[in-house]
Amino acid sequence: MSQSDQILELAQRQRLLRAVDVRAHGWSPQLLIRLHQMGHLQRVARGLYSLPDAEINEHQTLMEVCQRVPKGVVCLLSALQFHEIGTQLPREVWLAMPEGAQTPSLGYPPLRVARMRGMAYSDGIETITAYGATIRVYGVAKTVADCFKFRHKIGLDVTLEALKDAWLKRKASMADLSHFAKINRVERVMQPYLEAVVA
């Protein structure tokens, strides 16, 4: 089996390919470009390839962003949409980045970056693998706590909708919500709303 055939087989399993994926197997990344020119691979975005007939799934954009921005974590409105909480349909991908990391410059999709530090960035990350690609997204309780932290950016109405919906759908426990409220330093802000939601 030639290297090109092996790359196409990997594309079937993994769904999205980057040069680093090909290099990890000891193959030449130039083959990605050649396979693209021959019509065997399509260029999804700069440095990102897939099979032309690859099944597009609802989280395709998030998979692409996570492939292209390794330090990024899907957060806030995009995480709410991913977890099917609330009614938000963001036009941008909301991405958490560690403080001091370079802001990614992608032509598409548009990004909205939220800067976080320490445990506020590193805790609560869920890694979901779908169609061979990975999505890094904050869990429900962390996302709700983040909404309170960034309520001035996304709106208190969106934040309260997220809390109520997460609680009604039993997607977050009070212990988890309190834990992430402490990490985000929004315990005092969240406390009355947490009490109201369980009343």
Q: Can you give 122-134 as a three-state secondary structure string?
A: HCCEEEEEECCEE
Task: Identify the weakest region by mean pLDDT among 30-39, 147-156, 160-169.
Answer: 30-39
State residue 132's pLDDT score.
Answer: 65
* pTM for this entry: 0.76
Domain boundaries, the chain: 3-50, 60-198
Which helix (H) or strand (E) segment holds residue 94: the answer is strand 93-98
The partner residues of 134 in beta bridges, in order of sequence, read 129
Order across the sheet with 133-138: list the strands.
111-116, 93-98, 73-74, 133-138, 125-130
Q: What is the pLDDT of residues 16-41, one digit of tens each?
A: 787 888 888 999 889 988 999 999 99
Q: How far apart are CA 88 and CA 91, in angstroms?
A: 10
Please write the tens of the pLDDT for every residue from 177-198. Answer: 999 999 999 999 999 999 999 8
Q: How high is the pLDDT of residue 131?
A: 63
